[in-house]
């Protein structure tokens, strides 16, 4: 589609001529008036052509790239409009205070109550935070608080960006706060409930009246327990005989030590699951996994050594399934 042809204007037509042509043609092909089968299609084309030529930026793009498709692709972003919305949202966000909070592993798992010190910005008492001694009506929106943005074919109403929708503008600044609306800073202690299951590096957001507190959680690591999602892992070193005969061993868990029954004949690296002994989060209940690691003694007493030498002779003749299969595959 050539928008110049559709509107019947020349390449150097002025905006006024383009508008005039558009008005005339859209009236002519309006489906309410024109019952001709091709009228609707023509009406659409006229609107599309005007969408391009009625906008200097799009028109320039069309002149440069020559095809409608490219123009549409190239220019199909209402970034200006969105950025205005975005900025508006940002402006209305409460200022944030970032605080770091270090907690123990157990506290992170079970949840805890912590006192968090923050330095809060209070409002100027004289002007109640408005920064103004006297107001006047906002000139941009005539005191209405709303402005209209023309984004063809839409007209969008949004809060006035000058007065943030209040309709008011500062006429005389408050002298007590130099117009910034801020009072003194106040040290404050917040009692914060840390929910069970928080992880290292998480940020908790606390919304106060005027500010948002972003609480960065730092979890001190546990000496033995390691967290993977909601599951906990502990590596449990055992002796060769414990692996052979089985044993009951104390291991750490949330809330204290517990007994782990190691079954006879467990292999090194064997994984034992303790159902529901992991971390309970909002979404799931984790398990505790004990990974068994057989430790080879590094120093041997004479008695120990004598017994092991005797054992090694017996073992050469006994049946080790994996040892045998490994040799067979060689
Ligand atoms: Zn003030
Ligand atoms: Zn305004």
- Give the confidence band of 320 by pLDDT, cuts at 50, 70, 90: confident
Q: Which helix (H) or strand (E) holds 43?
A: helix 39-53
Q: Residue 16 — pLDDT band, cuts 50, 70, 90? A: confident
Pairing of strands 231-238, 288-294: parallel
Residues 6+ apart with CB under 8 A from 166: 138, 145
Contact 101, 219 (CB under 8 A): no
Supply the pLDDT for residue 102. 95
Ion ligand 1: residue ranges with CB closer than 5 A: 124, 126-127, 174, 176-177
Task: Quickly count: other Cβ atoms within 10 Å of residue 78's Cβ.
Answer: 13
Q: Which ligand is nearest to the CA of 179?
A: 1
Contact 87, 204 (CB under 8 A): no
Termini Cα distance of the chain? 75
pLDDT tens digits for range 189-232: 989 999 888 889 999 998 887 788 999 999 999 999 999 989 99
Ordered by where they begin, the domains of the chain are 3-89 (1.10.287.110), 93-123+184-221 (2.60.260.20), 132-173 (2.10.230.10), 226-329 (2.60.260.20)
Q: For residue 99, what is the enclosing H or E element?
A: strand 96-103
Q: What is the mean pLDDT of residues 319-324?
A: 85
Q: How far is the CA of 211 from the centre of ligand 1 (A)?
A: 18
Q: How many helices (H) and strands (E) does the chain have?
A: 10, 15
Neighbours of ion ligand 2 (CB under 5 A): 138, 140-141, 160, 162-163
Confidence of residue 154 (pLDDT cuts 50, 70, 90): confident
In whole angstroms, give the CA distance from residue 18 to residue 164: 36
């Amino acid at each position: 589609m050539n928008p110049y042809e559709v509107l019947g204007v020349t390449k150097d037509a002025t905006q006024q001529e383009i508008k005039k042509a558009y008005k005339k043609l859209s009236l002519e092909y309006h489906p309410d008036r024109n019952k001709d089968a091709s009228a609707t299609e023509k009406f659409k084309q006229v609107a599309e052509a005007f969408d391009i030529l009625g906008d200097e930026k799009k028109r320039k793009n069309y002149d440069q790239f020559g095809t409608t498709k490219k123009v549409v692709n190239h220019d199909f972003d209402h970034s200006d409009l969105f950025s205005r919305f975005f900025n508006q949202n940002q402006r209305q966000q409460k200022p944030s205070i970032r605080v770091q909070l270090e907690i123990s592993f157990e506290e992170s798992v079970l949840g805890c109550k912590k006192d968090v010190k923050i330095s809060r910005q209070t409002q100027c008492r004289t002007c109640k935070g408005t920064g103004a001694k006297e107001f006047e009506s906002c000139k941009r929106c005539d005191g209405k608080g709303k402005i209209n943005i023309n984004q063809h074919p839409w007209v969008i109403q949004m809060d006035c960006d000058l007065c943030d929708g209040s309709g008011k503008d500062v006429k005389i600044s408050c002298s007590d706060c130099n117009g910034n609306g801020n009072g003194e800073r106040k040290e404050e202690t917040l009692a914060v409930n840390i929910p069970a299951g928080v992880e290292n590096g998480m940020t908790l957001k606390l919304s106060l009246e005027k500010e948002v507190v972003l609480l960065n959680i730092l979890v001190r690591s546990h000496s033995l327990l390691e967290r993977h999602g909601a599951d906990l892992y502990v590596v449990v070193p055992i002796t060769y005989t414990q692996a052979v005969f089985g044993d009951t061993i104390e291991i750490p868990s949330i809330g204290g030590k517990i007994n782990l029954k190691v079954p006879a004949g467990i292999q090194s690296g064997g994984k034992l699951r303790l159902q529901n002994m992991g971390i309970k989060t909002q979404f799931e209940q984790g398990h505790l996994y004990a990974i068994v690691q057989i430790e080879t003694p590094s120093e041997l007493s004479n008695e120990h050594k004598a017994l092991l030498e005797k054992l090694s002779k017996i073992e050469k003749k006994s049946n080790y399934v994996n040892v045998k299969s490994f040799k067979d595959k060689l």
